[in-house]
Copies of this chain bind each other. A is one copy, B any other.
C-alpha cells in the first residue's frame, strides 16, 4: 500500500470504525467510557493507517549520513531538521540548548611493553560492505569521562569487573592495587567496571569486547553476519550514572549557560582513572601474554587462548588525554496543546545523538517517534485534538549520560512535576518481541495496547508473541495472570530523570530480540547494517510507532488517566516478598558459609598447590521487622482494589467533571508519592523508592532499592530504617488512593 493511498483513506474516513482483528478480550478500555472507547479505537485505526515505513527509512538514511555526536555539525543539522518537520506537522517546536561537559580524546595509546611489544591499533576499519565506515568526522573509540592519565603497570584480567569477580580474585590472593585491569564488556553497566577498579586501587581500566559475548561465538561477524568483528569497539560513557545522570558538572540543576558548575575535579561522577575500550583484535595479544592462575570457567571468553588472570607478565602502558570542553546539547521540544487539559502533559521522548553512525541506537527509535508524531499531526488536522498536551522530545547528549533529557528535566523540574502525567521513552528498536518496562501503574495500559497491536511477522498481537516467549522460557504465570508483567526500570535511557528523579510515571518501549548482533556503539551501527540486520523493511519501526502512538493517544485522551493501581499493588507485593526472601537467603548463605568455615571445608576442598584464601566467617543475619512494610502492602492492595472498583463504576455510570478532575490530579501525582526528597542512601538525586539502577551493579534495576541494597550490603540498621521509609511511602500512596475513593463515593 502506497504512502499516498494511506493518506487518502485517513483523510476521507478518518473516524470510520475500522474493525481490528486484534481486539482486547473485552471492549473496555482503561480510563475511557464505553462511548469514548469507540471513538478512541477509530482514532487509533486511523493512526495505524498513517504509519508509513518509507518515512522511517528515509529519515534514518538522512540523519545517519554523517556522524552526529554531541557538538558535531551534523547533530545540529539534525536538530534543525527535526524541529522543522515537527513544525510542518503542526507542532510548536523549539530547540532548547544546554551547555554540557563533553570530553573528546586528544591522545589514546595502549601499548604492551612486556613480555613483548604490541601497539594497539584502536581503529575500526573501512569496509566495502558498509558505505559509512569510512566517513569523515568520526569520533574515535573511547569512554567519555575517563580520567586523563599516563600509567604503566602489569595487567590483571578481572572478567566483567563486577563485585563478584573481585571476590574471586580475593580467593586467589590477587590484588589489583597498582595494576591495570582489563575487563570484558558485559555482565553490568560499563561504568561500574572502572569505578570498582578504582576503588580497588587499580591505575587504569581497559575494556574490551570478547567474542564470547557479542562476536563470533554468538554468530557470523559483520559484514557476513551481524556480530562484532575483530576490530569493532564499543564506545560509551563511564560517568557514575547510579549516582546521578546528566551533566557531571551540574547535578540537580539545568546546565544552562550561567549555571553554577562543579569543576572537573569536584565532580563526583567523573571517573578517577583512565579507561579505554578496545577491540578483541587489540585485546588478544595482551590476554595471550598473561600468566598467573587460569581464570575460573565462567570468566573465560571465546578467544583461542587459555585465559589467565595475571598479574602480568603482560605489562601495559595506557596513555589518555582529553579535551574537556563544554559543548551545546540541542533538545528539540515540540508540543501539541491539549484541548481540554493543556496543563496535563504526556511527554514522549527518544534521544537523537549517537556515538558513531547511530542507526539502531538511537535513530531506529527516533524515526518511529517522528512517524508517530507526524501521524498524530495528520489526525490533528482533521478536527481532532488531544485532550491533554503531548510533548515530543528529541533529546541530545543521551550517550554521554542522559544529558539532554536530564538537564531539561532538572531545568523544568517544578513544571514537569506539576504537569506531567507520564513519560514514554523509546531508544533503539529492532525486529522481534515487544519489550515493556515502566511504572506498574501503567502496566494495564501497556497490556491493553499490546493486545491491539499486530506483530508484522506472525499476524498475532505483539502481546501474544511475548506471552509465547515467556511461556516457552518456563514462566507459568503468563497463562493465568491477565496482564503480562512489565519490567521495572533501572537506568540506561532518558526515562531516568523523569521516573527516578522527578517521580513521573514512565514507560520504556521497544522491539527486539531478533535483531541480535554486535555493533552496539561501534562504527558499524550504520544504516547499511540496520537495513540488513536491525529491522529489514522497517516493519518493527512502524509497529513501534503504532504502539507508542496508542500509548500517547490513550494517555492524552482518556477520561480518567489510564492507571490501574491493582497492577501496581500486585507488583509491590512481589517486590516486598522478594526482599524478605532475600534476607532469608542471605541468612542461609551466611549460616552455610560459617558452617563451611568451621569445618575448614574451603581449605580442604582447595588444591594445595594453588594459592587459595578461604572466606572468613561472618556475623549471622538478624531477623528484621518487616511488619510495617507488610501492613502497608496489605493496605495498598485493599485501597488499590477499592479504587479500581470505584473507577470502573464511574466509567459506567459517569461522574461530574470536578470529580474526574480531582481524581486525575490524584492519579497524576501518585508516582510523585513514591519518591522521597532525601533520595536513596548516598545518592540523593535518585528519589524513587521503588525503582533504581543498582548502586553497585549499574543499569540493572533494583526494586525497593533502599531495602534491597541494604540487605545485599548486610547493613542491617540501614535495612531496618529503609523498611520504615518504604512503609511510610506506601501508606502515603494508599492515603491518596483512599482520598480518591472518597471523592468518587461522595
Pick the contact of A601: B467, B601, B602 (CB < 8 A): B467
Answer whether residue A605 sits at the interface, using C-beta atoms and an 8 A cutoff. yes
Chain A 180-220 interface residues, beta-carbon cutoff 8 Å to B: 211, 216-220
The answer to whether A479 touches B221, judged by C-beta atoms less than 8 angstroms apart, is no
B465→A216 contact, CB < 8 A: no
* Mask: chain A, 512-527; 1 = CB below 8 Å from B; 0 = not: 0010000000000000
Any B CB within 8 A of the CB of A469: yes
Chain A 213-246, CB-CB to B under 8 Å as 1, else 0, gives: 0001111110001010000000000000000000
Stretch at the interface among A158-166, A302-310, A320-328, A373-381: A302-310
Q: How far is the CA of A514 from the CA of B303 in the complex (A)?
A: 25
Report yes or no: B457 in contact with A605, Cβ–Cβ below 8 A. Answer: no
Are B304 and A303 within 8 A (Cβ)? Answer: yes
Residue of B whose beta carbon sits closest to that of A472: B605
CB-nearest residue of chain B relative to A473? B605
Minimum C-beta distance from A308 to chain B (A): 8
Q: Which residues of B contact A217 (CB under 8 A)?
A: 300, 306
- Set of chain B residues within 8 Å of A211, measured between Cβ atoms: 304
B306 and A465 form a contact (CB under 8 A): no
In the complex, whether A471 has a CB less than 8 A from a CB of chain B is yes
CB-CB < 8 A to A599: which residues of B?
A: 467-468, 471, 479
Rounded to whole angstroms, the CA-CA distance of A76 and B458 in the bound complex is 70
Q: Are A457 and B608 in contact (CB under 8 A)?
A: yes
> Is there an interface contact between B221 and A604, defined as CB atoms closer than 8 Å?
no
Which of the residues B306, B479, B514, B609 comes within 8 Å of A225, measured between beta carbons? B306
Tell me the bound Cα distance from A64 to B199 in angstroms: 54
A227 to chain B: closest residue by CB: B306
Residue of A225, A304, A464, A596 ringed by the most chain B CB atoms within 10 A = A304
Do the beta carbons of B608 and A458 come within 8 Å of each other? yes
Q: How far is the CA of A219 from the CA of B307 in the complex (A)?
A: 8
Q: Does A460 contact B (CB under 8 A)?
A: yes
Question: Quick one: closest B residue to A230, CB to CB?
Answer: B304
Count A interface residues, CB 8 Å: 43
In the complex, what distance in Å separates the CA atom of A514 from the CA atom of B302? 24
Residues of B contacting A218 with CB < 8 Å? 294, 306
A118 vs B249: C-alpha distance when bound (angstroms): 61
Alpha-carbon distance A298/B407, docked complex (angstroms): 45
B605:A306 contact, CB within 8 angstroms = no
A306 touching B514 by the CB < 8 A rule?
no
Given B227, B432, B600, which contacts A468 in the complex, CB threshold below 8 Å?
B600
Is A26 an interface residue, CB under 8 A from the partner?
no
Given A294-B219, A514-B609, A609-B514: A472 and B305 interface contact (C-beta under 8 Å): no
Q: B306, A471: Cβ atoms under 8 Å?
A: no
A36 at the interface (CB under 8 A from B): no
Query: In the complex, which of the residues A220, A294, A305, A468 has the most CB atoms of chain B within 10 Å of its own CB atom?
Result: A468
- Flag if B468 contacts A221 (CB, 8 Å): no
Give A601's nearest chain B residue, CB to CB: B468
User: Most chain-B Cβ atoms within 10 A of its Cβ — which of A227, A460, A601, A608?
Assistant: A601
CA distance A219 to B432 in the complex (A): 39
Contact between B469 and A605 (Cβ–Cβ < 8 Å)?
Answer: yes
> What distance in Å separates the Cβ of A299 from its nearest Cβ neighbour in chain B?
11
Interface string of A496-511 (1 = CB under 8 A from B): 0000000000000000
Q: Does A595 contact B (CB under 8 A)?
A: yes
**A607 in the interface, Cβ–Cβ < 8 Å?**
yes
Give CA–CA (A599, B468) in the complex, Å. 7
Nearest-Cβ distance from residue A390 to partner chain B, whole angstroms? 33
Residues of B within 8 A of A467 (CB): 599, 601, 604
Which A residues between 446 and 497 are near B, CB-CB below 8 angstroms?
457-458, 460, 464-465, 467-469, 471-472, 476, 479
Query: How far apart are the CA atoms of A399 and B604 in the complex, in Å?
Result: 34
The smallest beta-carbon distance between A314 and chain B, in angstroms, is 15
User: Which of B303, B468, B607, B608 is in CB contact (< 8 Å) with A605?
Assistant: B468
> 1/0 per position for A97-138, CB-CB distance to B under 8 A?
000000000000000000000000000000000000000000
A217 nearest in chain B by CB position: B300
Closest residue of chain B to A308 (Cβ to Cβ) is: B220
A303 / chain B contacts, CB cutoff of 8 Å: 304
Supply 4 further A-B pairs (C-beta < 8 A) apart from A302-B302, A468-B605, A469-B605.
A217-B300, A467-B599, A468-B600, A469-B601
Report 18 cross-chain contacts, Cβ distance below 8 Å, ordered by A residue. A216-B305, A218-B294, A218-B306, A219-B294, A221-B306, A227-B306, A300-B302, A302-B302, A458-B603, A465-B604, A467-B604, A468-B599, A468-B602, A468-B605, A469-B605, A472-B596, A476-B592, A479-B595
Query: Residues of A with Cβ closer than 8 Å to B?
Result: 211, 216-221, 225, 227, 294, 300, 302-306, 432, 457-458, 460, 464-465, 467-469, 471-472, 476, 479, 514, 592, 595-596, 599-605, 607-609
Q: 8 nearest interchain CB pairs?
A: A468-B604, A468-B601, A304-B304, A468-B605, A469-B605, A472-B605, A457-B608, A471-B601
